[in-house]
């Protein structure tokens, strides 16, 4: 793995060969995917404990992704800590359409990590991977993520009603997307505002 992004709070370790993560990362990744709150946002299958064999599934996802990163918080007093993963996977090669996915351990939700990683990877995909559009899915119960995605310019493109069952309740899946032209227009607008301030 190689460091992709050093930032004030996080670093992303890019998977570029098999295995996609180091041996020290595996216990953290398994603990991460075994959290029911995380499973609810990442896995549409039953919410059940996953054992070491699930590492093969993580490896497949990482190796098939256009970009797969392990997210480490580097601003913790105890030192760097694996807090999640994010991926960009190809949905349609001809149309340069990709899917974005991110998951973090619940104890760091609301601390700005999702925003930092998402904005960096969306920018990276449009500037360096020649992507035309980024698609993503989010559950309607994840109000913070929906607010973030709208803030960076994503548009709601559809809703799959009562598509996910968790904790005795049905949740809608919201499909969102952003085009490269929308992203760069948003960046220009932010630059103009910064100059005028």
**Does residue 186 register a pLDDT over 60?**
yes
Q: What pTM, to 2 d.p., does this model score? A: 0.82
pLDDT digits (tens, 9 = 90+) for 36-51: 777 667 666 666 677 7
Report the pLDDT averaged over residues 66-78.
84
The two most distant CA atoms of the chain are separated, in Å, by 55
Report the pLDDT averaged over residues 90-94.
93
Rounded Cα distance, 21 and 70, in Å? 7
Rounded Cα distance, 194 and 61, in Å? 39
Instruction: Spell out the domain ranges in the chain.
Output: 2-196
Report the pLDDT averaged over residues 58-86.
83
Q: What percent of the chain stands above pLDDT 70?
A: 84
Q: Is domain 2-196 given the CATH code 3.40.1830.10 in the classification?
A: no
Structure tokens at 13: 């370790």
Residues 68/125, Cβ–Cβ less than 8 Å: no
Q: What is the pLDDT of residue 81?
A: 81
pLDDT digits (tens, 9 = 90+) for 109-167: 899 999 999 999 999 999 999 999 999 999 999 999 999 999 999 999 999 999 888 88
Q: Determine phi and psi for 153, rounding to 5 degrees.
A: 115, 5
Pick the more confident residue, 105 or 10.
105
Return the minimum-mean-pLDDT range out of 6-10, 19-23, 30-34, 47-51. 19-23
pLDDT confidence of 17, banded at 50, 70, 90?
Answer: very low
Give the closest residue to 132 by CA, choosing from 186, 178, 88, 86.
178
């Amino acid at each position: 793995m190689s460091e992709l992004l050093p930032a004030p709070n996080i670093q992303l370790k890019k998977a570029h060969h098999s295995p996609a993560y180091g041996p020290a990362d595996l216990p953290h990744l398994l603990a991460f995917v075994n959290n029911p709150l995380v499973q609810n946002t990442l896995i549409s299958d039953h919410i059940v404990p996953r054992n070491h064999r699930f590492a093969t599934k993580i490896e497949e996802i990482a190796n098939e992704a256009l970009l797969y990163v392990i997210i480490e918080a580097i601003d913790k007093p105890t030192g760097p800590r694996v807090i999640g993963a994010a991926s960009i996977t190809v949905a349609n090669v001809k149309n340069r359409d990709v899917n974005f996915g991110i998951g973090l351990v619940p104890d760091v939700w609301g601390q700005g990590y999702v925003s930092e990683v998402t904005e960096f990877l969306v920018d990276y995909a449009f500037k360096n991977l020649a992507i035309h559009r980024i698609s993503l899915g989010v559950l309607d119960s994840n109000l913070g993520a929906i607010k973030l995605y709208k803030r960076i310019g994503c548009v709601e493109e559809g809703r799959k009603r009562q598509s996910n069952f968790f904790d005795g309740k049905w949740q809608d899946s919201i499909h969102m997307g952003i085009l490269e032209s929308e992203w760069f227009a948003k960046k220009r607008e932010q630059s103009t505002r910064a100059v005028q301030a």
